[in-house]
Amino acid sequence: MGRPALFIRLSGCNLNCEGCDTDLKPSLDLSVLELLKRIEGQGKRVIITGGEPTLQMNELVDLICRLYSRGMEIHIESNGTNTIPLDILEKICCAVVSPKRGSDFNLGFWANKSNVHLKFVLGKPDWCWNEKELKQLIPILDRERVWIMAYGTDQGMQNASEAWDLALKLGTNYSDRLHIRLKRS
Ligand code: SF4
């Protein structure tokens, strides 16, 4: 967070979280080669996000291989409901997986891998987690790579201190929502 990066946002998601802050409709229809041409010379760090990027798995694998061969630092964000091939995951600097409560996320695959960080959103909507659930889940995870973030769509982030307190209590990291705090109206 806070480091400049190029974002590639792949459209579409297999979940439908209340209050999702992403426009899930496609805006551009590009082949992988067209996309690469468009981003040429725009920095070395790239974050592939969505929606849910793994829904376009063939294109995603092709994209990661081509970015990797160009020496790019690759990051990916996912809701964790799908896995990705291990040889592709190895090419990724950092995967941020945010399992949604009640979804069929694949914790067995994503948990405790050295380049995977798990992010849990604390809050009231159905897909968010609560303290009791996180207290049960977190002891089986490597806390060094677990982050707790508050749900919130307003710049004041009223619930941030609750997430901070819980992160301290459970020995995890706290994640802010910089994209919300700095949002321009
Ligand atoms: S998983 Fe993420 S992108 Fe998909 S609906 Fe939920 S918040 Fe939105």
**Looking at residue 125, which CATH number applies to its domain?**
3.20.20.70
State the Cα–Cα distance between residues 20 and 64, nearest whole angstrom: 26
Query: Of 97, 108, 118, 111, which Cα lies nearest the Cα of 173?
Result: 118
Give me the chain's average pLDDT, please: 94
Read off the pLDDT band of 145 (50, 70, 90): very high
Atom 7 in ligand 1: residue holding the nearest Cα: 20
**Furthest C-alpha separation in the chain:** 47
> Which runs of E-coded beta strand occur in the chain?
6-9, 45-49, 73-78, 94-97, 116-122, 146-150, 173-175
77 in ligand 1 pocket by Cβ < 6 Å? no
Q: Per residue in 51-89, pLDDT tens?
A: 999 999 999 999 999 999 999 999 999 999 999 999 999
Read off the pLDDT band of 185 (50, 70, 90): low
Atom 2 in ligand 1: residue holding the nearest Cα: 51
Is 11 within a domain? yes
Total structural domains within the chain = 1
Is 177 within a domain? yes
Question: According to the model, what pLDDT value does residue 38 have?
Answer: 95
Distance in Å, CA 97 to ligand 1 centroid? 11
Question: According to the model, what pLDDT value does residue 47 have?
Answer: 98
Question: According to the model, what pLDDT value does residue 41 have?
Answer: 93
More confident residue, 136 or 185: 136
Is 80 within a domain? yes
| Residue 46 clears pLDDT 80, i.e. is over it | yes
Q: Per residue in 103-135, pLDDT tens?
A: 999 999 999 899 999 999 999 999 999 999 999
15 in ligand 1 pocket by Cβ < 6 Å? yes
State the Cα–Cα distance between residues 13 and 151, nearest whole angstrom: 19
Of 52, 55, 104, 180, the one to substitute when testing ligand 1's pocket (max ligand atoms within 8 A of C-beta) is 52
Question: According to the model, what pLDDT value does residue 32 have?
Answer: 98
Q: How many CA atoms lie within 13 A of 32 on its CB side?
A: 13
Question: According to the model, what pLDDT value does residue 63 have?
Answer: 98
Distance in Å, CA 68 to ligand 1 centroid? 26
50 in ligand 1 pocket by Cβ < 6 Å? yes
Report the C-alpha dihedral over residues 133, 138, 140, 142, rounded to 10 degrees.
Answer: 160
Read off the pLDDT band of 22 (50, 70, 90): confident
Is 1 within a domain? no
Question: According to the model, what pLDDT value does residue 43 have?
Answer: 92
State the Cα–Cα distance between residues 98 and 157, nearest whole angstrom: 19
Which residues does 149 contact at the CB level (< 8 Å), separation at least 6? 119, 120, 121, 122, 163, 174, 175, 176, 177
* Domain of residue 35, residue span: 6-181
